[in-house]
Amino acid sequence: ERIRWEKGLVRRLRVPEGKGSTKRVTGVELEDGTAVEADLVILAAGAWTGKLVDLRGRAEAAAQVLAYVQLSEGERIALKDMPVLLNMSTGMFVVPPTRDGVLKVARHGYGYRNPVRIPHPEKVGVGEEIEISLPADDFVTLPAEGAKACRDTLRETVPWLGERTFCHTRLCWYMDTPTGDFLVDWHPGYEGLFLATGGSGHAFKFLPVLGERIVDGIEGRLEKELGELWAWPKRGVEGFKETEDESRGGKRGMILAEEMQLSSKIKSRL
């Protein structure tokens, strides 16, 4: 049996007590208490990675806004050859419609943080907590600020669609690193744990080749330049909150809960 699929929500990494300073990850424990044993754990949990291993100063979850507009077949044909439109000042962009006629408006900005306090993932049972940003439970509702940004962008770029109702909206959670480079490396504090995270909003487009590079990293064959770019940072960036890779635009320092609270106040006045 080469592949066995198991579905479950991971509670923590399994790190048995042992002698000496070397720790070894031997699998994961699921929320229902089930133990999944493994000789090698590849942690590719995206924006949830920080819940399972301490990545403060090295990677942090941040949400971006997305809104979609359903086009008629005639509208789809009219826009099918449009380029991707990107405003580097605001971070807003528009993607040409899909074959099903769905137009996407979104932002590649500094994002919304969602700071929460959780038990320290590497100090189980000692009562210590850390504060990190993790994805919120609601992936659908946009803050008023984000919805307005999408609407304004549509009005500016495709004016005749400016008042079209969004067919659906989403919050897209990035796992950002300080430089925007991926984090694809062995964890220096554990044997048997390889990290594949830190997509920083641009990992999806590398999907056809990224898996091969991750395997190269595991097997020690990753080319030197990529190995240096994706290596575990020896020091985290103190106070890291936002990626500084010169590709982001828009407002800095937004907290999701605060923006949602402002949205509620705006609605209550309407």
pLDDT at 156: 96
- Bridge-based pairing of strands 254-255 and 112-113 is parallel
Classify 84 as helix, strand or coil.
coil
Nearest-5° Cα angle at 9, 19 to 176? 85
Quick one: which H or E segment has residue 264?
Answer: helix 256-269
- Bridge-based pairing of strands 35-37 and 60-70 is unpaired
Q: Do the beta carbons of residue 68 and residue 168 sit within 8 Å?
A: yes
Q: Per this entry, what is the length of the chain?
A: 270
Q: Give the tokens for residue 247.
A: 């590709």
pLDDT at 6: 84
Q: With a cut of 70, say whether residue 31 has pLDDT above it.
A: yes
Q: Give the tokens for residue 255.
A: 């907290």
pLDDT at 263: 84
pLDDT at 153: 97
| Dihedral sign, Cα of residue 140, residue 144, residue 146, residue 152 | positive
**245-254 confidence digits (pLDDT tens):** 999 999 999 9
Per-residue pLDDT, averaged over 16-21, amounts to 70
Outline where DSSP puts E strands in 128-227. 129-133, 168-176, 183-186, 190-191, 193-197
Nearest-5° Cα angle at 138, 112 to 59? 40
pLDDT at 159: 96
Q: With a cut of 70, say whether residue 119 has pLDDT above it.
A: yes
pLDDT-derived band at 134 (thresholds 50, 70, 90) equals very high
pLDDT at 270: 36
CA 48, CA 27: separation in Å to the nearest integer? 17
Q: Give the tokens for residue 35.
A: 């133990």
pLDDT at 264: 75
**40-85 confidence digits (pLDDT tens):** 999 999 999 999 999 999 999 999 999 999 999 999 999 999 999 9
List, in sequence order, every residue forming a beta bridge with 28; answer none if it has no partner.
13, 36
pLDDT-derived band at 155 (thresholds 50, 70, 90) equals very high
